[in-house]
């Protein structure tokens, strides 16, 4: 077993999923998943399509969504509806929300998962204000707009809103990821502020603080290919568990220790992160480009 594999088995132990409990919980439910065309969203969509549910899949790539719909419906268990749009586009977002209210007024579960990640040094961002507006647009404003619009419906159905956050939202921020971390942390804080009011009205809420997950999002950072990461199957199972256990948050067992050490050993932590940014800027990492968008 390689050291990476060994680390993965310690850091990300297997996640058990009680398929009977999940099936009971999902019976006849309507589930909206954003970011369904790739990575975590794609894996989750396929897992949930094994149950008699109505899946509403959202992402930009229409061809990919239609292909998924064909494959899933061919199994004859789930009904699938797709909406292909850029969630940052105001008009298209308003169109989606109108369609959700007129055509699917019984959404029970929302998995807000669409996201975009950018790794770029602040010194390579001086003329790139748009990196900050576009990450806020998809990682913060889009889920805020979606949830605000769906709150009355979720209250009526006793629904569940789940979102895919990151461990970085709960740790000391690292250089190179200002746009991504700030936008993910913004939604995390917004959601945790809204949560008690939503829960009081019967809407269930779950925040997933995910570590590195092996998806197309992390591919542009060559160094990540050697680092321990979760699989999309593991994350889909965790989301499945959260659906029937109704837990309010999930985080890896080691997050508290990582958070503590990121503050206590701040000097070392920043030094290591700065070295990575410097290496990337100097293009010392082989094929890696000086700065990259993820996803």
* 207 near ligand NAP, rule: CB under 6 A: no
Among 17, 33, 35, 83, binds ligand NAP (CB under 6 A): 35
Closest by Cα among 105, 104, 83, 107 to 95: 83
Q: Find the farthest-apart pair of alpha carbons in the chain and give their distance in angstroms, rounded.
A: 56
180 is catalytic: yes
How far apart, in whole angstroms, are the C-alpha atoms of residue 166 and residue 213? 10
Q: Restricting to residues 88-107, which ones interact with ligand NAP according to CB under 6 A?
A: 88
Helices (H) and strands (E) in the chain, counts: 11, 9
Q: Which of 215, 221, 234, 262 binds ligand NAP (CB under 6 A)?
A: 215
The nearer residue to ligand NAP, 23 or 144, going by C-beta atoms, is 144
Beta strands in the chain (DSSP E): 30-34, 54-59, 79-84, 109-112, 117-119, 160-166, 204-210, 249-250, 292-294
Distance CA 188, CA 205 (A): 12
- Nearer residue to ligand NAP within complex by CB, 159 or 295: 295
Indicate if the alpha-carbon torsion angle 252, 193, 185, 65 is positive or negative: positive
Which residue among the candidates 180, 209, 224, 263 is catalytic per the annotation? Answer: 180
Among residues 25, 30, 45, 113, which is the contact residue for ligand NAP, using CB under 6 A? 113
40 in contact with ligand NAP (CB under 6 A): yes
Q: What is the DSSP letter of 158?
A: T
Of positions 57, 138, 185, 186, contacts ligand NAP by CB under 6 A: 138
- Judged by CB under 6 A, the residue of 109, 118, 210, 242 near ligand NAP is 210
How many residues bind ligand NAP (CB under 6 A)? The answer is: 29
Query: Catalytic residue positions?
Result: 180
Binding site for ligand NAP (CB under 6 A): 35-41, 59-61, 86-88, 113-117, 138, 164, 166, 210, 212-213, 215-218, 295
């Amino acid at each position: 077993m390689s050291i990476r594999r060994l680390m993965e088995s310690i850091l990300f132990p297997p996640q058990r999923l009680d398929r009977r409990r999940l099936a009971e919980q999902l019976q006849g439910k309507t589930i909206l998943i954003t970011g369904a065309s790739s990575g975590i969203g794609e894996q989750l969509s396929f897992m949930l399509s094994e149950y008699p549910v109505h899946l509403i899949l959202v992402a930009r790539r229409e061809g990919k969504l239609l292909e998924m719909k064909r494959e899933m419906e061919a199994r004859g268990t789930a009904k699938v509806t797709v909406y292909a749009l850029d969630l940052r586009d105001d008009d298209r977002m308003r169109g989606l929300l109108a369609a959700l209210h007129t055509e699917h007024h019984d959404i029970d579960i929302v998995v807000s998962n669409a996201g975009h990640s950018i790794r770029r040094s602040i010194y390579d961002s001086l003329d790139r204000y748009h990196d900050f507006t576009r990450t806020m647009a998809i990682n913060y404003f889009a889920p805020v707009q979606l949830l605000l619009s769906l709150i009355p419906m979720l209250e009526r159905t006793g629904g569940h809103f789940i979102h895919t956050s990151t461990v970085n939202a709960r740790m000391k921020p690292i250089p190179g990821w200002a746009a991504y971390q700030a936008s993910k942390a913004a939604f995390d804080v917004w959601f945790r502020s809204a949560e008690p009011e939503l829960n009081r009205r019967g809407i269930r809420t779950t925040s997933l603080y995910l570590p590195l997950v092996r998806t197309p999002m992390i591919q542009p950072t060559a160094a990540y290919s050697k680092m321990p990461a979760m699989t999309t199957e593991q994350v889909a199972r965790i989301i499945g568990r959260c659906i029937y256990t109704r837990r309010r948050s999930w985080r890896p067992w080691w997050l508290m220790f990582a958070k503590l050490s990121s503050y206590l050993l701040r000097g070392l932590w920043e030094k290591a992160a700065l070295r990575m940014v410097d290496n990337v800027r100097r293009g010392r990492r082989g094929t890696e480009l000086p700065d990259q968008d993820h996803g």
